[in-house]
Amino acid sequence: DGGITQSPKYLFRKEGQNVTLSCEQNLNHDAMYWYRQDPGQGLRLIYYSQIVNDFQKGDIAEGYSVSREKKESFPLTVTSAQKNPTAFYLCASSMGRDTGELFFGEGSRLTVL
Amino acid sequence: GNSVTQMEGPVTLSEEAFLTINCTYTATGYPSLFWYVQYPGEGLQLLLKATKADDKGSNKGFEATYRKETTSFHLEKGSVQVSDSAVYFCALGLNAGGTSYGKLTFGQGTILTVHP
> What tens digit of pLDDT does each residue of A43-69 get?
999 999 988 999 999 989 999 999 999
Residue of A43, A91, A94, A98 best to disrupt the B interface, most CBs of B under 10 A:
A43
The answer on pLDDT for B46 being more than 60 is yes
Position A1 scores a pLDDT of 66
Position A98 scores a pLDDT of 57
Confidence of residue A87 (pLDDT cuts 50, 70, 90): very high
Instruction: Say yes or no for a CB contact (<8 Å) between B100 and A100.
Output: yes
The amino acid at residue B26 is: T
**CA-CA distance, A8 to B74, in Å (whole number)?**
35
How many residues are present in chain A? 113
Position A2 scores a pLDDT of 72
CB A33 within 8 A of CB A45: yes
Instruction: Say yes or no for a CB contact (<8 Å) between B32 and A100.
Output: yes
Question: Which among B32, B34, B43 has CB closest to A106?
Answer: B43
Calculate the average pLDDT of chain A.
Answer: 91
Position B103 scores a pLDDT of 78
Instruction: Say yes or no for a CB contact (<8 Å) between A99 and B103.
Output: no
pLDDT one-digit tens code per residue, B68-85: 999 999 999 999 999 999
The end-to-end CA distance of chain B, in Å, is 41
Confidence of residue A39 (pLDDT cuts 50, 70, 90): confident
CB half-sphere exposure, A58, CA atoms < 13 A: 24
**CA-CA distance, B9 to A95, in Å (whole number)?**
32
pLDDT one-digit tens code per residue, B19-40: 999 999 998 878 889 999 999 8
Q: Supply the DSSP symbol for B58.
A: E
Instruction: Say yes or no for a CB contact (<8 Å) between A42 and B107.
Output: yes
Contacts 24+ apart (CB under 8 A), A79-83: A79/A18, A80/A15, A80/A16, A80/A17, A80/A18
Confidence of residue A40 (pLDDT cuts 50, 70, 90): confident
**CA-CA distance, A35 to B68, in Å (whole number)?**
27
In three-state secondary structure terms, B31 is coil
The end-to-end CA distance of chain A, in Å, is 35
CB A78 within 8 A of CB A110: yes
